[in-house]
Copies of this chain bind each other. A is one copy, B any other.
């Protein structure tokens, strides 16, 4: 039973259906098809504001391309020390920007605070000898399963904007955050000061479809050239765009995220005092101990170790298509550990 990651999940039926439906007749390539041409309006409707949206196939590409449009080669990107762009992208932001630096900022439960970012920015006096602070990158929901409130993002964006930095949001799990917050998509993005967004659909039910969304169309800049140059302009783009349209317009973004979040809460209740962070999306981090991990693995559960191994921590991720039975099973297994 997989609790490894939400990218182990399947494609949800509505999205697979959308791919099949778009598989009709010849269509212009490289984005000049009816599906891709509708992306801007579909995302504008979703966010309640005029935006420009571009499809790519991976979250790493979305993050690195989005950041490269707002960060020069001699720029510095401020991010949480456990952010995906720090830990899991093999230096993609450095590659796409031409050698910018990611500056690591600590923070409880995977979240940055305005104070911590201010402190990090204060630590250098920009001069010709230093990298130039250029972007703040946040993650929503965070890598540790927590979720920023809109006012928290607004405070962070305010610090960044006052110093001339752009604000990027890694929204690989944005749907889970919106559902958790019960807010409008605008509240956790442009209304809170986000400039450029990596919008994820893959983990929440797509085959491979992410979008880079610019809330200020002026900021698009050379994005399209950078995307092409990086091999991320898809020739048969209708199939990627059709996924995003179905995701946004059929409501599966919400339904899938709601289901995963609810199941995560059930596990959270079973995990009780073992939880390391508040559960505010579809990820849980639990202290199992070496023995607890072994017991769960022997019972057929797959999950990743987390943190320094000897601390006995584990990450459990609930997918949109997680089976009821696997959730019931892991809840029982966690409870048995207590009584065990």
Residues of A in contact with B (beta carbons under 8 Å apart)? 2, 4-5, 7-11, 16, 19-20, 23-30, 56-62, 64-65, 72-74, 87-92, 94-102, 104, 122-124, 128-132, 202-203, 207-208, 222, 224-226, 228-236, 239-240, 308, 319, 321
B104–A104 touching, CB < 8 Å: yes
B99–A59 touching, CB < 8 Å: no
Q: Which residues of B contact A207 (CB under 8 A)?
A: 19, 236, 239
| 5 additional A-B residue pairs with CB within 8 Å, beyond A8-B27, A58-B231, A231-B232 | A10-B24, A11-B239, A58-B234, A58-B235, A73-B95
5 contacts between A and B (CB under 8 A): A16-B20, A61-B230, A62-B231, A92-B228, A95-B99
The A interface is mostly helix, strand or loop, or mixed, namely loop
A5–B29 touching, CB < 8 Å: yes
Residue of A88, A99, A229 most packed against chain B (CB within 10 A) = A229
Chain B nearest CB, measured from A297 CB (Å)? 15
Among B56, B92, B208, point to the contact of A235 (Cβ < 8 A). Answer: B208
Whether A229 touches B91, Cβ cut-off 8 Å, given contacts A29-B4, A235-B202, is yes
Q: Which residues of B contact A92 (CB under 8 A)?
A: 228-231
B16–A23 touching, CB < 8 Å: yes
Give the residue name and chain of the B residue nearest to A130 (CB).
B90
Total copies of this chain within the assembly: 4
Give the residue name and chain of the B residue nearest to A239 (CB).
B207
Chain B nearest CB, measured from A246 CB (Å)? 15
Chain B nearest CB, measured from A243 CB (Å)? 10
Q: Which residues of B contact A131 (CB under 8 A)?
A: 90-91
Q: Which residues of B contact A99 (CB under 8 A)?
A: 91, 94-95, 97-99
Residue of A100, A101, A236 most packed against chain B (CB within 10 A) = A236
Chain B nearest CB, measured from A326 CB (Å)? 9
Give the residue name and chain of the B residue nearest to A226 (CB).
B74
Q: Which residues of B contact A57 (CB under 8 A)?
A: 57, 208, 234
B98–A73 touching, CB < 8 Å: yes
Chain B nearest CB, measured from A334 CB (Å)? 19
Tell me the complex Cα distance, A240–B58, Å: 13
A88–B308 touching, CB < 8 Å: no
Tell me the complex Cα distance, A226–B60, Å: 13
Chain B nearest CB, measured from A95 CB (Å)? 5
Among B59, B124, B132, B232, point to the contact of A58 (Cβ < 8 A). Answer: B232
